[in-house]
Amino acid sequence: MRNRNSKTLALVVVASTVLIACNPLNKMVKRQGEVNYELTPNPVQMHGDSIAITLNGSFPEKYFNKKVSAVVTPVIVYGENSESFDAFKLKGEDSEAEGTIIKYEPGGSFSHAAKIPYKDGMEYATVELRVAGEYKGKTKDLEPRKVANGTKITPKLVMSSDKAIMGTDKFVKFTLEDNNVEIHYLVSSSSVRGSEMNDADIKELKAKLKGWNEDVKMEFNGLTISAYASPEGELSKNENLANERAASAAKSIESLLKRAKVEIPEGFSTPSGKGEDWSGFKTMMQGSDIADKELIIRVLETYTDGTKREEEIKNIGKTYTEVSKKILPQLRRSQANLVMKHHNLTDDEIKALVDTKIDSLDVEQMLYAATLYTDAAKKESIYKSVSSIHSSDWRGPNNVGFIYMSQNKLADAKAEFDKANGLSANNPIIQNNLGVVARLNGDLAGAMTYYNNASGAGKEVAQNKGIINIIQGDYASATSNYSGVKSFNSALAQLLNGDNNIGGTIDGSDDKDEAVSSYLKAIAAARAEDKDAMMKYLKVAIEKDGLFKAKAKTDAEFISFRENADFQAAVN
């Protein structure tokens, strides 16, 4: 009995040995080096919040047994951690398992795309394929195959250069004030009558002169005169007459100013004769009650020659007599404009009032006052005064919020922006600023909604959108939003969108001297496989900031240069 059991056991062992020897999985393990795998991109890359891969592979002929199936799992290994991409299944042509068929005789190929969330630490990673084969219920794991080394995380270099926007003042250094008077003449005359200098408009001008002369904020800026002749008689004579009227009007107004002890500098007056006033004639006819005015207007529209016009109008007879009494006298005139320059408070005067009587400043003066200081505390104090004294103006709290943003006081800034929004709902500038707060608090969707509502606020809005585009991996939109802008983030968007020629973008920006700008240039050169330029910019970056030595050493952007002696000397 004992002998029979021994024989039975021996037969089982022999049978098992034969089965194992005939298991096609063993042959596949031995030949696994013949299998071709290609992972793209390689190294893998972080875009948005994910790492996406595409795996292509091929099997040689007579490799994949007809009854074998396999599960292939791409795995990213970082430190003591690992994350699996979605697995995919392959099978022989006679296998009843699920999966892509790989034929035995000719061999076959496959393609697989997958994505996983990016996690901190994955920049120091390898990607390997883990294959589990199955044949008649028995499984066997192939040796893990490394297909990529490292993860590019260059998008994480994006600068938090979000741009809030100030509510600007409308302060002006001075305003120009027009003071118009009119002097009329007798037919064919350029003499200014005494009665004209006593008309109501002239008397009103005289009354203002003394006050202006005593007001240090008022400056006599200039006198402009346009003079006309009525459209009757010879054209050449009327042109001369218009010039003479301009000169006589200038002389009369200047005499009036001198009597008021106004100093008149050379070139103060600008007299100009305009000739016959057909345009004024037509306007006055259109506004008149003359019976045949439509007929006269048709004459003006039919003929362009002044002599012909006058001839046709005179042919109307009785109507012309009415025109010569009601219309033509009003056209024999000089129109004079005494322009006064009203100066606003000087910068020194405004500063003095800020410290002594700030409530005497109007809102534009107060907002302008803040621009005269570089001290943030002083600016904040003035903007808070705007909020309290001119409490209905949104710019006060908005600008306080701007100051808080610069100090990274996000909660305080948001409270001020919300207050401003309550005073000016949906104001594009305030919407932009609320978007900046949302973005810095990690709410990308909310920030983009605010930015979309901020149309017209300024070029800052597009740049703020560009930051979100980079973070989300939408580099085409980022490049578009940074169009025409020279900055680090603009160059980063350009690089990530496939353009390595970023030198001009960085060199023309305010960020050009930053160490990270040189580092980005080094990455661009590495992508362009320009070793000399890469080493040049990398050395500059490390010289400016030694932290880039350790970063470059493990950065997958430089993986093809890691064995280079110059690179090793720079990072070790």
Q: For residue 312, name the pLDDT band (cuts at 50, 70, 90).
A: confident
> Residue 513 has which token pair?
């001297």
Kind plus residue range of the DSSP H or E element containing 233: none
pLDDT of residue 307: 85
What is the reported pTM? 0.81
3-class state of residue 257 by DSSP: helix
Q: Which fold has domain 24-152?
A: Immunoglobulin-like (2.60.40)
Mean pLDDT value across the chain: 92
CATH 3.60.70.12 fits 174-343, yes or no: no
Bond prior to 329 in cis (omega within 30° of 0): no
pLDDT at residue 21, as a whole number: 45
- The rounded percent of the chain whose pLDDT value lies above 70 is 96
Q: Which pLDDT score is estimated for 566?
A: 95
Tokens of 60: 């040689």
d(CA 349, CA 352): 5
Q: Tell me which DSSP letter residue 191 carries.
A: P
pLDDT at 236: 87
Supply the pLDDT for residue 154: 97
Helix (H, G, I), strand (E, B) or coil at 200: helix
Q: How many CA atoms lie within 13 A of 407 on its CB side?
A: 16
| Predicted confidence (pLDDT) at residue 545 exceeds the cutoff of 50 | yes
pLDDT for residue 16 is more than 80:
no
Pair type for strands 151-152 and 44-47: parallel
Question: Residue 278 corresponds to which tokens in the numbers above?
Answer: 């057909």
For residue 330, pLDDT beyond 70: yes
Q: Would you state the structure tokens that stand for residue 477, as one six-digit string?
A: 């939109």
In this prediction, residue 6 has a pLDDT band, given cuts at 50, 70 and 90, of very low
Where helices occur in 260-375 by DSSP H, the ranges are: 278-286, 293-302, 306-314, 318-326, 328-331, 347-356, 363-370
* Burial of 458 per CB tally in 10 Å (0-12, 13-18, 19+): middle
Residue 22, pLDDT score: 64
Straight-line distance from the first to the last Cα atom of the chain, in angstroms, rounded to the nearest whole number: 74
| Alpha carbon distance 190, 348 (integer Å) | 49
Segments making up each domain of the chain, as ranges? 24-152, 174-343, 346-458
Q: Are 471 and 48 in contact (CB under 8 A)?
A: yes
Interval 255-301: pLDDT, tens: 999 999 999 999 999 999 999 998 998 999 899 988 888 888 888 88
| CATH superfamily, with its number, for domain 346-458 | Tetratricopeptide repeat domain (1.25.40.10)
* Average pLDDT of the residues in 437-462: 97
Q: Which of 337, 329, 331, 333 is nearest to 227 (CA)?
A: 333
